[in-house]
């Protein structure tokens, strides 16, 4: 095997490794997005519970992971929503649910783009793998 062929094999192999790494990163991103979507669906279900609860009902308010405070539900069913940059707005339950459903839709769209990109990378990796096999068999 000549040095030029060996150098080309190394370059093709490195390209294949980089694509493989990008595929793994994309899969991790897609998984994180899926976990966030599940969390948002859980929050939407909780909002339904809040909406259907009677005035004066005892509820648990999450303070931190696994830590809750007891509270009573007042007649006012408004929620305070952090919209970023330390700005909070007041919304009713339905408005909050709509906002969360919009976030879910946006995340699904991003997730679909990541999956599509991953599929394209997979096809590219397959092509490069074939090229590498050809180079190896030429030696």
Of 1-15, 17-31, 83-97, 119-133, minimum mean pLDDT range: 1-15
SS3 content of the chain, % helix, strand, coil (to 5): 70, 15, 15
Is the four-CA dihedral 131, 133, 136, 137 of positive or negative sign?
Answer: negative
Q: pLDDT value at position 102?
A: 96
Check: CB of residue 50 under 8 Å from CB of residue 93. Answer: yes
Mean pLDDT of the chain: 90
Query: What would the pLDDT profile of 32-62 be if each residue is shown by its tens digit?
Result: 999 999 999 999 998 888 888 888 888 888 8
Q: Residue 72, class by beta-carbon neighbours within 10 Å (0-12 exposed, 13-18 middle, 19+ buried)?
A: exposed
pTM of the model: 0.78
CATH of 3-138, picked from 2.60.40.10, 1.20.120.1810, 1.10.287.370, 3.40.50.12780, is: 1.10.287.370
Query: What would the pLDDT profile of 80-105 be if each residue is shown by its tens digit?
Result: 888 888 899 989 999 999 999 999 99
How are beta strands 87-91 and 79-84 bridged, if at all? antiparallel
Q: Pull the structure tokens for residue 7.
A: 């150098």
pLDDT band at 63 (very low <50, low <70, confident <90, very high): confident
Total Cβ atoms within 10 A of residue 96: 22
Q: pLDDT value at position 139?
A: 63
Q: pLDDT value at position 77?
A: 72
- The CA angle 110-116-120, to the nearest 5 degrees, is 145
Paired with 62 in beta bridges are 68
Check whether 76 has a pLDDT greater than 70.
no
């Amino acid at each position: 095997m000549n040095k030029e062929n060996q150098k080309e094999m190394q370059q093709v192999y490195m390209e294949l490794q980089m694509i493989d790494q990008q595929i793994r990163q994309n899969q991790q991103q897609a998984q994180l997005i899926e976990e966030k979507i599940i969390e948002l669906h859980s929050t939407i279900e909780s909002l339904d519970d809040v909406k259907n609860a009677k005035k004066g009902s005892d509820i648990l308010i999450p303070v931190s992971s696994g830590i809750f405070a007891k509270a009573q539900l007042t007649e006012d069913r408004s929620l305070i929503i952090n919209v970023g940059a330390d700005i909070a707005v007041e919304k009713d339950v339905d408005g909050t649910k709509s906002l969360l459903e919009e976030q879910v839709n946006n995340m699904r769209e991003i997730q679909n783009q990541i999956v599509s990109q991953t599929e394209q990378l997979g096809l590219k990796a397959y092509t490069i793998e074939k090229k590498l096999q050809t180079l190896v068999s030429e030696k």
